[in-house]
A and B are shown apart, each in its own frame.
Chain A
């Protein structure tokens, strides 16, 4: 699968891919969560909801205007505002998630 998208990181698509955050996922796209750049108690709350490093996350629907967005994670759908989603760093899913 060719990963290419607009990114400020420059022409090196691979480097950019490892530096994406959740808010950059396109509808239907799946990625693997790498890190939660959030205060500890909020990160723990998100982890309880399934946002655990190593788990795959799929972007689903969104509210009109694109914010908040719904993400499929660990068997359920959770809506996050952009301000939260852009603090969750992801890397591309190498194996297609089912």
Chain B
């Protein structure tokens, strides 16, 4: 405490725009994001470029002398030829033609030096831009341990650009990058001064030959093949062991999402309930207190409670991705997924969707093929997310007797639950098939998947991911969910009669419920279910709390009072129809919001919402009419 040295404090302020901007460019798997994380730490945010689905991170790097720069982590590209959206974005930003993004003042070109021959090809078009550039040769530790070498000074002399040999993973040599950032901040970073002739840019063989030539003159010796990666692959991609390990990994993720997260979620629920109790005691009785507790605390709390589950899921995905196993999982899943017009990389997002569609849709970013990515986004909400569970639990417990079917462990209720999972999964696959053979039909786009070497994931990188995801999730809970909870509570307590809140049936909410009743009557739903459906637009599980309020019972899926009340008030056809409705309908504003963000517009979320709601309505109608006539 006593030794006070002027530690630089990170501040992202209004002056951000006037900061010197440095772009990080490099091929996929070059360790670009690892370096970005190391330079910016927690001072970063995710954003989408206007009008495109490509996301990018920006963050500030603070130099030792306290000056800061804005770093932009551009999408990984193999060339600057605009064939994919990623390449188009990178090219536009570097050319200064991306609206809202200034042309970078300097470039960090990150290349994997264990694969320098191929990666150095990208140096030609980047140096051609005439922006001060540092060539960062990453993975120096790997190069050394596998017996390769390169002379960074000889490379710098040839290319006329500074070269740093670093390991973003261990931090070795990163100070050279900071020095370059310092010179970029002072405006003294040198422009490219040609010593070697650059190749003709659109001739790939000549670019590749140029790279070999330049590498050779910098005494580049390619490293030996990664022995451990090959050993691990002979296990993970073994014809028999491979699929077994894959299945175990999937089951492990599932088990963690459902069972592992349970105590944490219960703990958080208790915390929310107890803190709600404290606030109740602190405040004098007033409508405001009721709004705060019944509206805000319960409404927002019912969503925040899913935070541990979502973070665990992202921890898993982070470990799988950073270790390199995700690429192998995508390879193993590809054949099965291709039968439905999808591809291997769709597998993990769809698995994630069993926890929650929101992180799943964010996880589709690993799919480069845009049409495959949109198709995956569109079917992800069909997967039975955990928010459907309280609804399913309530209705199944109220209407389906717990008779054993296959021994004492597998009863009618479990069968109903499993059936709903299967129904959602089939709807997803059928939808994918239809989409991929109609509006999202891709021309011939090959499936290309690079298998990165295996690596230990770092705590730092995993931690940054989790913070990122938690931030996004809580921001949503604090805005959309908060607003809906407050509006619902207010509408349930208006109009006031003699200063008293009305019975819920006579409130605005009740009026709305009765207005839509003719529409939902054929599905076997009454106005109370209608109110529940409207309130569940915020988040599916909200219907349980709403029905609790309407029936004057505890709003809890395990509440026997609520089960009995529903059993009295709803036909069996209506109950089955309600289950089917929840299996198919996109009753989740958070998902709509994230689809809008990830697809860069309202087109896809509107199509998706309309499609899913129509499917839900038609199927629920069919189920109710069928059950009414048959039973």
Contact = CB atoms under 8 A, between A and B. Distances in A.
Nearest to B29: A76
B325 to A, nearest CB: 14
Interface in B115-145: 115, 117-118, 121
Given A64-B242, A65-B335, A70-B237, A77 B450 contact: yes
A26 to B, nearest CB: 14
A47 B208 CA distance: 9
B78 A48 contact: yes
Contacts of A53: 205
B445 interface: yes
Interface residues of A, number: 34
Interface string A30-68: 000000001101101111111011100000111111011
Interface in B319-339: 327, 331-332, 334-335, 338
Contact of A48 (B121, B237, B327): B121
**Which size class do B's interface residues fall under?**
35 or more
A79 interface: yes
A80 B447 contact: yes
Contact of B83 (A45, A63, A67, A70): A45
Interface in B59-78: 78
Most central of A49, A81, A83 by chain B CB within 10 Å: A81
A48 B80 CA distance: 11
Given A53-B205, A64-B239, A68-B447, A81 B83 contact: no
A37 to B, nearest CB: 12
Most central of A70, A79, A81, A83 by chain B CB within 10 Å: A79
Given A48-B121, A63-B332, A70-B237, A84 B447 contact: yes
Interface string B443-482: 0111111110000000000000000000000000000000
B451 A78 contact: yes
A64 B144 CA distance: 34
Contacts of B81: 44
A79 B205 contact: no
A29 interface: no
Contact of B222 (A49, A63, A70, A75): A75
23 contacts: A38-B446, A41-B83, A42-B445, A45-B78, A49-B450, A54-B205, A62-B237, A63-B332, A63-B334, A64-B242, A67-B334, A68-B334, A68-B447, A68-B449, A70-B237, A70-B331, A77-B451, A78-B450, A79-B331, A79-B449, A81-B334, A81-B338, A84-B447
Identify the 3 closest CB pairs spanning chains A and B, nearest first: A61-B237, A77-B451, A79-B449
Interface of A: 38-39, 41-42, 44-50, 52-54, 60-65, 67-68, 70, 72, 74-81, 83-84
